[in-house]
């Protein structure tokens, strides 16, 4: 019976100790990039645009053309839009910039419809 009591006392301590490892940094240590992809000629939203930040974080625009990418590490970033087959990307192709902790920035992406 003492082994059972010992196990019941030690097991919760082990579980608590295991939870004390490396933690995910708080959300304020990251930034958010959001925006809208739209047809440059008509200003209508474009759905299905893949938006990638630093080749790791991705989002796809919704029916209203909006996207949101959270947990962007602070510092320098590169944002690359990949439009659907009927559209071409902006002439610069890549949006570079930097973000601070807790910052939310907006990057709108104008697209050109292919002939």
DSSP 57-106: EEEE--TTSEEEEEEEESEEEEEEEE--TTEE--TT--EEEEE-TT-EEE
Q: How confident is the model at residue 16 (pLDDT cuts 50, 70, 90)?
A: low
pTM, to two decimals: 0.74
Strands 87-88 and 66-73: unpaired
Phi, psi of 51 (to 5 degrees): -120, 125
Reported as a single tens digit per residue, the pLDDT across 30-46 is 999 999 999 999 999 99
pLDDT, greater one: 81 or 15: 81
**All domains in the chain, ordered by first residue:** 28-113 (2.60.40.10)
């Amino acid at each position: 019976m003492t082994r059972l009591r010992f196990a019941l006392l030690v097991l919760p301590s082990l579980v608590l100790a295991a939870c004390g490892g490396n933690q995910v940094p708080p959300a304020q240590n990251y930034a958010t990039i959001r925006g809208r992809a739209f047809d440059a000629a008509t200003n209508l939203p474009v759905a299905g645009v893949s938006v990638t930040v630093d080749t790791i974080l991705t989002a796809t625009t919704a029916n209203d053309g909006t996207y949101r990418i959270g947990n962007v590490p602070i510092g320098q970033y590169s944002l690359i839009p990949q439009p659907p087959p009927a559209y071409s990307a902006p002439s610069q192709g890549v949006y570079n910039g930097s973000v601070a902790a807790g910052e939310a920035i907006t990057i709108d992406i104008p697209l050109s419809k292919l002939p």
